[in-house]
Chains A and B, each alone.
Chain A
Amino acid sequence: MTITAGELSAILPLLIPALGACLLPLAALDKDQATVKWVRGATFFMALFCLAGGFFYITRLWATGAQPSYGAIRMDRLAQFAGIFVLVAAGLAVLQLWDHLHQEGWVKGETLSLLLFSAVGMILFVAASNLILLFLGLELLSLPLYALTATVRTRAKAFEGGMKYFITGAVAASSFLMGSVLLYGVTGTLEIGALGQALAARNPDPIALAGAALLLMGFLFKISSVPFHQWTPDVYEAAPHPISGFMSVATKGAAVMALLRVLGAGVPAPGSARIQAALALVAVLTLVVGNLAALAQDNIKRMLAYSSISHAGYILLGLVAATPAAYAGVIFYLLSYLVMNMGAFGILTCLGLVGDRTTFDDVKGQGWKRPDLAIAASLCLFGLAGIPPMAGFYGKYMIFKELILQGHVSMAVTGILASLVSVYYYFRLPVALFLEKPTAKAEREASERPAFRASLAGAALLVCGVLVVVIGLFPGTLYLSIASRVVADAFPFLR
């Protein structure tokens, strides 16, 4: 069997990080104390290099406008965007991991390998045009994440979180698989496009509806929308900070984009009004639950976890509006969410907070120590709160506007009220950073702890902070050059 150049270019962005992921554990084998520092550096460099390689190929594809495919892997605009999205998130996570793992005293090569595998799984998840491959992508992205959650094994919570994620994730995966089986049984095909046509051609029957619902459940679990959200805060709290950031951004993003593809092909066709109504209900519940629960948190990571649930709600609102412009709004939203949330989680690493010391009390008054980083993080949080002119405003703007134009004014009002509530908890972090005095306990601990440097994580955070503002100032360019092109090229049926 030979592979043509076109086919190769379709899978190269997947192969390069996958190859790196296979080699990394071998490179990290050397446990000699004298060389361990160099080995560590080399593994991190290698991971970044592989991510950059994948990024390079995928942006080249984007620039040339080629949309090659290999079997059921379709490297179209949507998959290319997902690839860029995931690789950037993974790159930012690797930069932050270097500092965070050193702070935790737990630097292992396997962590990076798992991260790369997960990234590959995410790209595969979006690029798959076949239900089985979709399932493979889902598993490939999930299994490494279960292990990554429990990376710092010395923490009791880490193991618990990993286990919780694994068990709930397994349920979600099996429901996804069961849904695929039912749909296959009804239509006799696994190809998403053919499946959509087959479903459209027949009357809605209960089995197909059940299949679609089960499939949807698998996606909603990964997006962490209500009622499949309970794992989120525990898992995010258990995982290392950069991994939490990566999960909140990349997993959610990949799942949303895969869902876009499936929805776009018309797969939950059986009574699609019913599916749409279910999505609307889920979106509103997600907004309400996520925001209200985030209000009550004292732990920053749990607050960010609940807030990421609420962001799933905004994104789902975009899917409810279901117009090309709304889908483009969702893509734009994801893009800004990437920089904002990676930045928000990044501040924890930059301030050197390890273990369970991630409460608001722990960051009180810390902003004045590194004002540049704290300002960058605050910008990210203002963006998450949707305050203009930060990037986060425009994603919400585009989604709400489409909702209003589609006549869902009450849902837009719900979304806006939710974002008003979110202002309160997002501002708690800048307030703690700048407006409050450090607690005596925190000051004592800070003096006992050895000084830390977080130059890589700091650089990543600064980049995020600058991007939040730049995207906010030039939303139109990004929208036209990326978001609307993704939608226009990947969803020809919408035109």
Chain B
Amino acid sequence: MITPWMNTHLLTFLVFAPFLWGALLLLFPERQAPLVKLLAVLGAAGVLAVGAAQLLRGQPDALGTIVLERFHWFSAVGIPVEYHLAADGLNLWLVILTVFLVPLTMLGTWNSLPSRPGTAFALLLMLESGMLGALVAQDLLLFYLFWEAMLLPMYFLIGVWGGAERRYAATKFLLFTLSGSLLWLVALLYTAGKAGSFAPGVMAQAVQALPGKVQGTLFIAFALAFAIKVPLFPLHTWLPDAHTEAPTAGSVILAGVLLKLGSYGFLRFAIPIFPDAARHFSLLLAVLSVAAIIYGALVAMMQTDIKKLVAYSSVSHMGFVMLGIASMTVIGTQGAMLQMLNHGISTGALFILVGMLYDRAHTRRIADFGGVALRMPVFTAFFMIVTLSSIGLPLTNGFAGEFLILNGTYLSGFHWGKAAACAATLGVLFSAAYMLWMVKRVFWGPANPDPESGTAHLHADLDLREIAVLLPLVVLIFWMGIHPQTFLTQSEGQVSRAILQAHAGEVKR
């Protein structure tokens, strides 16, 4: 009974099972929190097991699609909206990253939420639904719905369980992202009205008939929404606030998956629908990306709070992703795909690690620490590995991604390619500087002598649960660094087709 249904509705299951499970868990009273937490983790683990097993087993067809569900949903006011979900080369690994990170995050923050942890875990499950839905949605209105549906659980995660300035941060997050996506909705409705459909392929054809200026305006509206989510400099200001105020679980998911949806939106929708406009604005995108890389790194260097430092490093790393996309080459785009995964894993791991440190010391100020390596050697080992991957040490995941991106940018054929690649390399240098300097101040040297310091509160090294959370992440860090091909083959065909199409108009003109 269940198995045939699952075979044909795998994606529906993946998208809605976490939501329904989360909604069910909300019904439990607060005093049952430990049970609710356990059920939530089991649910998320179940989704991971089913999702990973089924998706990795699936064989892609000629166009790269692995699983597909498609039927007519409704057509209010003439334009049909399709319930069209698909997992293909472009989103496969992002989907797996999502289902992988959610249970890990829950385990990693098992004891970090002081009040109502059950409700928070249920919200995480609901958030997972929104993210998975947005990742696999192929119809643009469907994508928009999931895109917006992600906001509410995250808003409450930050607003209820966050730090002292949580309401400010949550509201800023909500208004920033909404303001982008609402204007995008106008452009979306306009384009759909011209095309008579919300399917990206049909839209792309209709867009070709529009005057260049209109195409450009529409592309900017699309790009703005996605760039806010990424977030691209100078639209990034909501991110440090949201990251710093969010509870660990929120930060991990925010960095791990949510930000990726911005860059994914460029790859999946903005560039394929508006290839000419994308080429026209690629210089602007590249300049902003390089600015994000360097600016994010410089600001990270000045931070006194570890979590804020990691948050600004996100701005810098996501700048690399956007640079790879702006290069509009196969190598650069593949690098961006890989870097999205890298960032999800490395920065996610960093946020989990910072959360573990905070749970023990109740402070995140760099100056409050010193000599942590003496107190927590295992923790330090994990932190060092993740730090090195974040810096992009060869044989770790960070290196492979950044290398491909810089390579693609350099060879892009755009007149700005070489300059942008050189400037972005500075970012690699800076990231080594701020990360290692922070690690030096926090972990090495003599232990902080102040009896009130953070170091003085560190009484226990990682327990088994925490090691179990970090170990898979570290394995992935090396796997992706040593054999990135595992993660690149699925997307290769689709990316090269998309890039070819994006450049098709160039010859004509």
Contact = CB atoms under 8 A, between A and B. Distances in A.
Contact of B171 (A402, A424, A475, A477): A424
Contacts of B478: none
Given A404-B186, A405-B193, A420-B182, A394 B76 contact: yes
Contact of B186 (A416, A434, A476): A416
Given A401-B189, A427-B174, A435-B160, A417 B182 contact: yes
A393 B74 CA distance: 14
B148 A387 contact: yes
A479 B159 contact: no
Interface string A382-398: 10000111000110011
B159 A435 contact: yes
Interface string A410-427: 001100110110011001
B114 interface: no
Contact of B145 (A325, A371, A388, A424): A388
B135 to A, nearest CB: 17
Contacts of A328: 77
Interface string B114-149: 000000000000000000000000000000110011
Given A329-B76, A431-B167, 6 more contacts: A325-B78, A387-B151, A388-B148, A401-B77, A423-B175, A424-B175
Nearest to B141: A397
Contacts of A314: none
B183 A476 contact: no
Contacts of B395: none
Given A389-B149, A400-B186, A434-B156, A479 B74 contact: yes
Of the candidates B148, B151, B167, B186, the one having the most CB atoms from chain A within 10 angstroms of its own CB is: B186
B504 interface: no
Contacts of B144: 388
Contacts of A424: 171, 175
A409 interface: yes
Given A387-B151, A404-B190, A405-B193, A423 B77 contact: no
Going nearest first, the 5 A-B pairs with the smallest beta carbon separation are A476-B74, A388-B145, A479-B76, A325-B77, A416-B182
A481 to B, nearest CB: 11
Interface string B151-163: 1100110011000
The main secondary structure of chain B at its interface with chain A is helix
B77 A398 contact: yes
A434 B79 CA distance: 38
Contacts of A431: 159, 167, 171
A401 B193 contact: yes
Nearest to A395: B76
B283 interface: no
B178 interface: yes
Given A387-B152, A388-B149, A434-B160, A413 B183 contact: yes
Nearest to A428: B171
A417 B181 CA distance: 11
A328 to B, nearest CB: 8
Nearest to A382: B152
B185 interface: yes
A320 B450 CA distance: 70
Contacts of A394: 76
A332 interface: yes
A103 B242 CA distance: 41
B281 interface: no
B145 A389 contact: yes
B28 to A, nearest CB: 11
A423 B178 contact: yes
Contacts of A419: 182
Interface string B67-93: 000000111111101000000000000
26 contacts: A325-B77, A371-B26, A388-B148, A393-B145, A394-B76, A397-B76, A397-B185, A397-B189, A401-B77, A404-B189, A404-B193, A405-B193, A409-B190, A413-B186, A416-B185, A423-B178, A427-B155, A431-B167, A435-B156, A435-B160, A435-B170, A476-B73, A476-B74, A476-B75, A477-B74, A479-B77
Interface string B365-376: 000000000000
Contacts of B74: 474-477, 479-480
B171 A401 contact: no
Contacts, number: 92
B30 to A, nearest CB: 8
Contacts of B489: none
Contacts of A398: 76-77
The listed residue with most A CB atoms (<10 A of its CB), out of B144, B170, B171, B189, is: B189
Contacts of A401: 77, 79, 189, 192-193
A400 B185 CA distance: 10
Contacts of A476: 73-76, 81
A310 B189 CA distance: 22
B501 interface: no
Contacts of B79: 401
Contacts of A404: 186, 189-190, 193
A370 to B, nearest CB: 13
B179 interface: yes
Interface residues of A, number: 39
Nearest to A323: B77
A328 B73 CA distance: 18
B77 to A, nearest CB: 5
Interface in B358-415: none
A195 B152 CA distance: 50
A427 B193 contact: no
Contacts of A388: 144-145, 148-149
A128 to B, nearest CB: 29
A420 B70 CA distance: 32
Contact of B76 (A371, A417, A423, A475): A475
B167 A402 contact: no
Interface string B184-196: 0110011011000
Contacts of B81: 476
A479 to B, nearest CB: 4
Contacts of A412: 186, 189
B175 A420 contact: yes
Nearest to B193: A405
A328 B76 CA distance: 9
Contacts of B175: 420, 423-424
B77 A402 contact: yes
Nearest to A430: B156
Nearest to A329: B77
Contacts of B167: 431, 435-436
Interface string A369-383: 001000100000010
Nearest to B79: A401
Contacts of B185: 397, 400, 416
A213 to B, nearest CB: 30
B147 to A, nearest CB: 9
A102 to B, nearest CB: 28
Nearest to A419: B182
A435 B155 CA distance: 11
B306 to A, nearest CB: 26
Interface string A341-360: 00000000000000000000
A324 to B, nearest CB: 10
Nearest to A400: B189
A329 B76 CA distance: 9
A390 B310 CA distance: 35
B477 to A, nearest CB: 36
Interface string A230-259: 000000000000000000000000000000
A215 B189 CA distance: 34
